[in-house]
A and B are shown apart, each in its own frame.
Chain A
Amino acid sequence: MDATILGFLLLDALQNGVIYGLMAVGLVLVFAVTRVILVPIGELLMFAPLSLVWLHSGKLPGTLALALALGLLWALLARGRGGLWPLLGGLGLFLLFLLALKAPLLAYPASVLLVVYLGVATYRVFFQPMREATVLAYLIMAVGLHVAYQGLGLVFFGPEQYRPAPLLSGEVVVGLSWQGVLVLLFAGAAVLGLYLFFRLSLYGKALLAAAQNRLGARLSGIRPEEAGMVAFAIASLLAGISGLLLAPLINAAYFMGFMLGLKGFVAAILGGLVSYPVALLGALLVGLFESLTSFYASAYKEALVFLLLVPALFLQSLRARAVEE
């Protein structure tokens, strides 16, 4: 192991870590506001670039049908004027997709908006009706949706990977492409943006409050349902844009999302599921650890990355007395 190799590994760690970081941030956000562990975030991540590839080859992706179907369910579940938004949104999305078939550049925002719409509809249709459910019940629901969405991913897009063209081509230095730099910049901006949003803006603070105490939030004029939708919307937005930026680097396929989400989850746990900057740091740590283990013991790499959780959790537990409420 010499300096060059170490350098390459660190660079690799950085790029991988950033992917996990983007996942982690979305997971922390959704968990903080709704107590839902968004297992299907990996599928949302992959749906964006896969839909893009479909649009670019002149076809409407099946994810559009899924989104519209959920939108319809949403409209049916909502009463009165509440049903108008999903219908209008769905219609707009559909028109956007038709336009994108003619204008390839529109495919990018179309895919992202699709994922956002899908994410919010997912919350509205599946999670919101589960009032006052336990975290475990939410988790099982999330698992069910992950299974369903992954299955739909296979049906819509087939079993193989796809590689959309990068937005920026060429390399900055061996091992880091301009596209990779774009991803890093985006991640930094996302974390900074979320941090500021939740620390400084009133709406951000209100969102967090809604998670801690539903009744109190409502008494203060914040609707928990709205908070949930906003959280899912932001997380989906992050996932969609990340997916588009990452796909040229990692290849997108229907099955790639789950492991990314899981490792992002590990990163979020290292951050204690509370703080975005710490979650990102945790993600970089995961990336570093993974890079090193893939060099030294590639067969056991995954095992070691997950075992990283154990000392982290152990340390966190030592800080808390076993008996406290």
Chain B
Amino acid sequence: MTEKERNETPVLETRGLGISFGGLQAVSDFDIKIYKGELIGLIGPNGAGKTTVFNMLTGVYKPTEGTVYLDGNALNGKKPYEFVSAGVARTFQNIRLFKDMSVIDNVKAACTKDITYNLFDATFQTKKYWEAEQAVEDRAHELLKIVNLDDKASWKASNLPYGAQRKLEIARALGTNMKILLLDEPAAGMNPTETDELLSCINTIREKFGIAILLIEHDMSLVMKVCERIKVIDYGQTIAYGLPEEIANDKRVIAAYLGT
């Protein structure tokens, strides 16, 4: 392990995380520590269990072993929305936008948990309601600017081109005010130009919010370019963890990708 220990609580930490589906061990002993501002890559061949890890980190699946800690607090048995409240946000491998809502409403919907007005305020449109709505509107525009979608704010989400939909998912995830962002193959299906745009977008997000990011990606050049450290899993087991250049030369990783 080349991980340099830091003198702070990691934003996200897992200890011995594992899950089995009806006797089939999909992931086992998954340990990771992600500190503030870091960008970690999670790679592995198809079916290695990467998305399963994401699903455990966001509460969609209940891990059968181990624990997820966020800022040192265990998140055992919490529901997905409680994971989000704690500060974990994600995007999906196959795009899951609110497709019949407008682009800006997609982002606004993700801000719901931070809006505090109640049914009374909404019905009688009190001062509190207008203040909150104005704040959300401004915030949503700001986030859409980061992903260059502000000019399409009133579009229906399903009418956006593919690359833009992926970026909207990221903007929506940002709307939740997270501490760590999990990106599940954000560049999948993108052409090189779109991938470059995405890269600059990710960099802007890191500069602006200083959050931690965990990234699943198949595009090796992208992973090698942006990630500070990379974790490789295969058949649910961690087979390597280290700096990009170490991973590129790791025998087990090469074997897993090319077959032995």
Check if A and B associate: no
Identify the B interface with A (CB < 8 A). Answer: none
